[in-house]
Amino acid sequence: MAACRRLAAGLRDPQKVAAFQRLCGVEGPWGWPEAEQRAGGRGPVANGGPAGRAAGDSGAPQGWRRRPRRNSLSGEEEEEGGCQEFATRSRLLYYLFSLGTELGNELFYILFFPCCIWNVDAWLGRRLVIVWVWVMYVGQCTKDVVRWPRPASPPVVKLEVFYSSEYSMPSTHAMSGTAIPLALLLLSYGRWQYPLIFGLILAFCWCLLVCCSRIYMGMHSILDVIAGFLYAILILIVFHPVVDLIDNFNLTYKYAPLIIISLHLALGIFSFTLDTWSTSRGDTAQILGCGAGVACGSHVNYLMGIDLDPPPDTLPLSLSSLTVTVFGKAILRLLIGVIILLLTKIAMKKATIPLACKIFRIPLNDVRKARQRMEVELPYRYITYGMVGFSLVFVVPRLFSFMGLS
């Protein structure tokens, strides 16, 4: 037991994260060795926040200089203190790991799931959404229960502050970066014709890139990433055998929409009670809303006799049927469809935030602070992304059918 604790402490050590960053050519602000000594005198900074600079510190890191990316809900204190300029000697690694971390962000999801449902296989896409929702929900709730802070900075260089307000254990990027490619392989192999080795290589590279990117970005310790990887596999073992049952329930059960909406909303309210505000609460409501929207839209398709799945006589599916015309239509569908989803998101956001503020009598003069209130954030995220999910599987495919793009 003592050996396990020592191993866990070693894997959680921020110095190992900093060593990996240095190996990849990342350099922090000038004067960090002194700052690190001061931080060591008083323990890790809360939730991985930065320590102050030494008096007289000046200069800038050598190499290609950048500033961390941040989101619209980052506070002023976080923006000023947590966004020191850093430098990297390898632009290739910076862009490679930036791509890896984007594989767990909203931009990727709003391209990947629509592409899968509209252009590849709606049957596969619905099941991937189910897996993604449960993996991310369990991961986000676990963070707020365990409450481990981000790696201390210094010595770690923060290359992004998108999720600095969240806790660290487990890495939900590592969880999604493990669950999605593995579920894609498990669900598609046999339904699609491709060499198994190709699927294994894709899943391995996808998972490795996402996991390493979180250490490179300074957002997770090695232990966070390993725990996220193993946690995702455990959840897949539990949920993979029942994915077909869940999808069939969503499609065919008479009261499925009522149960789905109520269940996802209750799960969202529960997650909001676990801790004080962080971006993980909004992300959780967003994920649950999207999952509910996809499930309800699929149910409406079933009731109307609309089948987006490939006909059974075409199975197993093959990529050999891909032609220039088919590819062109796929790109056109993706372009038009994603624009509609983004417009839906913008319209619902503009409608739900003021409405929620008015209903719960919350001042709207500071939108950032208003969005951090549960009474605003939960309905705003849940309704907005619920409509995005519903449009993904029902509204946009109906538009494609009308335009002759099905």
- The pLDDT profile of the chain, 406 residues, written as one tens digit per residue, is 777 788 777 777 888 888 888 888 877 766 565 444 344 434 444 444 444 443 344 444 455 666 665 554 444 334 444 456 777 788 888 889 889 988 988 889 999 999 999 998 899 999 999 999 999 999 988 888 888 888 887 788 888 877 666 778 889 999 999 999 999 999 999 888 888 999 999 999 999 999 999 988 888 889 999 999 999 999 999 888 899 999 999 999 989 999 999 998 888 888 767 666 566 777 888 899 999 999 999 999 999 888 888 877 777 877 766 778 888 888 999 999 999 999 999 999 888 888 888 888 887 777 777 777 777 888 888 899 999 999 999 999 999 988 888 7
**Number of other residues whose CB lies within 10 A of the CB of residue 337:** 24
- Which tokens go with 102? 């984007």
Dihedral angle at the C-alpha atoms of 228, 234, 240, 243, nearest 10 degrees? -70
Q: Are the C-beta atoms of 45 and 68 separated by less than 8 Å?
A: no
> What is the per-residue pLDDT for 48?
47
Rounded CA-CA distance 370/379 in Å is 12
Q: Is 66 left (phi over 0), alpha (psi -120 to 50) or beta?
A: beta
How many CA atoms are closer than 13 Å to the CA of 194, on its beta-carbon side?
A: 18
Q: What is the DSSP string of 328-384?
A: HHHHHHHHHHHHHHHHHHHHHHHHHHHHHHHHTT---S-HHHHHTSHHHHHHHHHHH
The pTM score is: 0.84
220 part of the active site: yes
Identify the domain containing residue 354 by its residue range. Answer: 97-309+318-403
**271 lies in some domain:** yes
Q: Please name the residue ranges forming H helices in 273-323.
A: 279-303
How many CA atoms are closer than 13 Å to the CA of 296, on its beta-carbon side?
A: 23
> Given the DSSP bridges, would you call strands 26-27 and 64-66 parallel, antiparallel or unpaired?
unpaired
- Which tokens go with 15? 């110095």
Q: Which of 77, 68, 19, 17 is nearest to 46 (CA)?
A: 77
Q: Is 60 left (phi over 0), alpha (psi -120 to 50) or beta?
A: beta
Rounded CA-CA distance 373/403 in Å is 41
Taking the CA atoms of 10, 149, 99 and 295 in sequence, report the sign of the dihedral they define. positive
**26 lies in some domain:** no
**343 lies in some domain:** yes
**142 lies in some domain:** yes
**52 lies in some domain:** no
**Number of other residues whose CB lies within 10 A of the CB of residue 211:** 25
Q: Are the C-beta atoms of 88 and 27 separated by less than 8 Å?
A: yes
**Number of other residues whose CB lies within 10 A of the CB of residue 306:** 14
**302 lies in some domain:** yes
How many domains, in total, are found in the chain?
Answer: 1
**Number of other residues whose CB lies within 10 A of the CB of residue 310:** 16
Rounded CA-CA distance 376/370 in Å is 7
173 part of the active site: yes
- End-to-end Cα distance, the chain: 58
DSSP state of 92: H
Catalytic residue among 220, 240, 264, 299: 220
> What is the per-residue pLDDT for 73?
41
User: Under 8 Å CB-to-CB from 128, ≥6 apart: which residues?
Assistant: 113, 116, 180, 183, 184, 187
DSSP state of 66: E
Residue labelled with tokens 């000038």: 30
**85 lies in some domain:** no
Rounded CA-CA distance 229/296 in Å is 30
**358 lies in some domain:** yes
